Structure 1
Amino acid sequence: MNTDFQPLDDAFAQRVRDSFDKQGIMAHIGARLGEVRPGYCEIELPYSNAVSQQHGFFHGGVVGTIADSAGGFAAYSLMGPGDGVLTVEYKLNLMAPADGDELIARGYVVRPGNTLTVSRAEVMVVKDGHPVPCAALQQTLMRIRGRADVIG
């Protein structure tokens, strides 16, 4: 994983936090924004019945939701003020049941681009203090410029 990315502005982390706070789905499921660095973002989600499936595991859709957002915000951290970001596509591998107390999605940029950026996210499920990989995502994101309705 490349960790040598340079943000386009010093306020990148605050822009990510502001955009995260505008996502109704993140508030609805109880997700929290964790660490934000250039090209990297973490999202944490504590377990609740509201995000479970019929067997008591985290629902796969919720796993994909936080993975998509972690990778998307990692990409957004390398974009400029006034830019927006939208997911073009993603592939999610659910590798194990998400059976635990908390999910942690770690998104990171593989290759930033002027228009398209490729990111990945790894999702860990934490049970009794032990993290176990449960999902992996790869996605393509598009930088949106010049649209007041798509900023952040």
Structure 2
Amino acid sequence: MVDVCVNTGKGGPVAPNPAFAERVAESFRRQAFMGFLGARLVGVEAGTCIIELPFRPELSQQHGFFHGGVVGTLADNACGYASFTLAPAESSILTVEYKLNLMAPAVGDLLIARGRVIRPGRTLIVAQADVSARRGDGTEKPVATALATLMLMTGMADEPPAA
């Protein structure tokens, strides 16, 4: 279930598509890779997105931490879906590039990626994601931050490919 909070524009971005939260949730459900990992979309607002991923040994590297590739995947998706909230209904989003700084081992029971749009543009959007690892006692430790550039693809709706 997605926690949908529509931002009215008072101090924050306004989504051009009033059905942005449902559109984001539907697109996220179609991402087979995120489903395979066990990621959950848990928060969507205009210009922001939160994705969580419970720990499983299959997602770890040789020392038992969340693998850096998994951390990067969550950061990329959080940036992408934060940006997608601000896309018009007839548009889609595609990551052009992202830079990931791994700041600490991702040790915990839950990985949390919080994405937000830094600058919404007509063609390019800049977004940031901060990733934390939550331990069983509820404490969170920042483990990574990412800065992404995403392309707004006007006229290319985010739909499954034709069969």
TM-score range, shorter chain: over 0.9
Over the aligned positions, Cα root-mean-square deviation in angstroms equals: 1.5
How far is 1:147 from its partner?
A: 3.2
Equivalent of residue 93 in structure 1, options 94, 98, 101: 101
Show the 5 A alignment for 1:120-139: 120-128=128-136, 129-139=138-148
- The 2-side partners of 1:151 and 1:105 are apart by 24
In percent, how many aligned pairs have the same letter? 51
Contact 1:100 1:127 in 2 (8 A): yes
How far is 1:82 from its partner?
A: 1.9
Amino acid paired to 2:155: G
Q: Which runs of 5+ in 2 are unaligned?
A: 1-9
Matching residue of 1:146: 155
Contact 1:83 1:151 in 2 (8 A): no
- Which ranges of 4 or more aligned residues in structure 1 deviate by more than 6 Å? none
Show the 5 A alignment for 1:34-53: 34-53=42-61
Matching residue of 2:82: 74
Deviation string, structure 1 residues 25-56 (Cα, Å, up to 9, x no partner):
10010000011000000000000012111111
Amino acid paired to 2:147: Q
Deviation string, structure 1 residues 45-97 (Cα, Å, up to 9, x no partner):
00001211111100000000000000110000001112110000000000000
Contact 1:102 1:127 in 2 (8 A): yes
SS of corresponding position for 1:50? helix
Amino acid paired to 1:79: A
Matching residue of 1:118: 126
Q: Which runs of 5+ in 1 are unaligned?
A: none
Show the 5 A alignment for 1:13-28: 13-28=21-36
- The 1-side partners of 2:44 and 2:111 are apart by 17
Deviates more, 1:3-12 or 1:99-108: 3-12
Matching residue of 2:4: none
Deviation string, structure 1 residues 112-145 (Cα, Å, up to 9, x no partner):
0010000000000001310000000000000112
TM-score (structure 2 length as normaliser):
0.88
User: 1:3 and 1:100, CA in 2 relative to 1: closer, same or farther beyond 3 A?
Assistant: farther
Amino acid paired to 2:139: H
